[in-house]
Amino acid sequence: MTGLPEANSLEARVGNTPLLRPTRVTAGLPASVEVLAKAEWFNPSGSIKDRPALNILRRALQSGALNPASGQRLLDSTSGNMGIGYATFGAARGIGVTLTVPGNASPERLAILRALGAEVILTDPLESSDGAINEARRLAAEHPGRYYYANQYDNPANWQAHYATTAPEIFTQTKAQITHLVAGLGTSGTLLGTGRRLKELNAGIRLVAVQPDAPFHGLEGLKHMATAIKPGIFDESLADLNVTVSTEAAYAMTLRLAREEGLFVGVSAGAAMSAALELARTLTEGVIVAVLPDAGFKYLSDSFWK
């Protein structure tokens, strides 16, 4: 941006999110067990997806794979947050963004995407995120000159964003005391990138992967890996522990975080915190960091808030 120092740019605000300490939902845990929340809604577009969205966009521009001067657009599938990240930085840079989105994505997410100027193509809600992936693949194959297919599920720039930023932030913020990382599986980029780097820093850190307990669920952004199209970047051998969370448990925790902690978060954050607290009850000591991906604004139309 002309005349504006880089430090004051929108992109410079990505990352360096706070690590918060819930107090009421953690009541009853041993004093030697600490549960902390990585508050990713502090990113510019409101979610953790700003990290990989920006990294994917920058690398595509640097390599020449994306050439906006020719009218080429960024294309990807999304359940909402990654698309909002793309649309945010695309708008800031004057780059067109086309997104395939499941038809059951929350109306708040769709409204935000359209407000940011993204072209939104809705896909069959019964096919969930897999239907959006297949539609993006079809468009990329049929119109290779029109689109740069960002392919967040297979693009290594996704997990590398977390390797370079999320992991060192957490390690520094906990003063190297973190013992467990708890993160949900969607593209799997957060767990893979953050987890790989944390393991390099301390091989004793345990990685906990969280996913829905059934193929049909209400945890937008998370995948039931056994029945979904597995992301190309996914490495199922990395996690030390795999846990499942029901939609009902995630919803209940999301409400508790809002009403008992003042943490207005999304349902995947509720799932991560639910898993983190279950884990904490099995420990005698440790420092658990749960990644809370986004805020609750994009879920207000969901009935569970009532």
Note the pLDDT tens digit of each residue in 250-260: 999 999 999 99
49: left (phi over 0), alpha (psi -120 to 50) or beta: alpha
Give the tokens for residue 133.
């992936």
Report the alpha-carbon distance of residue 68 to residue 61 in Å, rounded: 8
Percent with pLDDT over 70 in the chain = 98
Structural Rg of the chain based on CA atoms: 19
Q: Is 98 helix (H, G, I), strand (E, B) or coil?
A: strand
Angle, helices 50-63/81-93, rounded to nearest 10 degrees: 50
DSSP 47: B
pLDDT tier for residue 76 given thresholds of 50, 70 and 90: very high
Architecture of domain 50-149 in this structure: 3-Layer(aba) Sandwich (3.40)
Per-residue confidence (pLDDT) for residue 80, from 0 to 100: 87
Question: Do residues 54 and 9 make contact, with C-beta atoms less than 8 angstroms apart?
Answer: no
**In which order are the strands placed within the sheet that holds 73-77?**
119-123, 97-102, 73-77, 147-149
pLDDT at 3 exceeding the cut of 50: no
pLDDT given at position 217: 87
Place of tokens 């939902």: 25
Q: Which residues are catalytic?
A: 49, 268
Q: What is the pLDDT of residues 100-140, one digit of tens each?
A: 999 988 899 999 999 999 999 999 998 888 899 999 999 99
Which spans in 64-122 are helix H?
81-93, 107-115
CA distance 91 to 93: 5
Written as one letter, the residue type at 107 is P
Chain segment 18-52, per-residue pLDDT in tens = 999 999 999 999 999 999 999 999 999 999 999 99
CATH tag, 6-44+158-305 = 3.40.50.1100
Mean pLDDT over 284-297 rounds to 97
Q: Phi-psi region for residue 34, left (φ > 0), alpha (ψ -120 to 50) or beta?
A: beta
Q: 37 in helix, strand or coil?
A: strand
User: Which candidate, 301, 269, 303, places its Cα nearest to that of 49?
Assistant: 269
| 188: pLDDT strictly greater than 50 | yes
pLDDT at 5 over 80: no
- What's the pLDDT score for residue 128? 82
Q: Is the pLDDT of residue 285 over 70?
A: yes
Q: Which of 79, 137, 88 is nearest to 110 (CA)?
A: 79
Report pLDDT digits (tens) over 140-166.
999 999 999 999 999 999 999 999 999
* Mean pLDDT of the region 217-229: 86
Q: What is the pLDDT of residue 79?
A: 84
* Segments of the chain assigned to CATH 3.40.50.1100: 6-44+158-305, 50-149
- Please tell me the predicted confidence (pLDDT) of residue 130: 87
Identify the burial level of 94 via C-beta atoms within 10 angstroms of its C-beta, where 0-12 means exposed, 13-18 middle and 19 or more buried: exposed
Residue 306 pLDDT class (50, 70, 90 cuts): confident
Phi, psi torsion values for 196, nearest 5 degrees: -60, -45
- Per-residue pLDDT at 218: 83
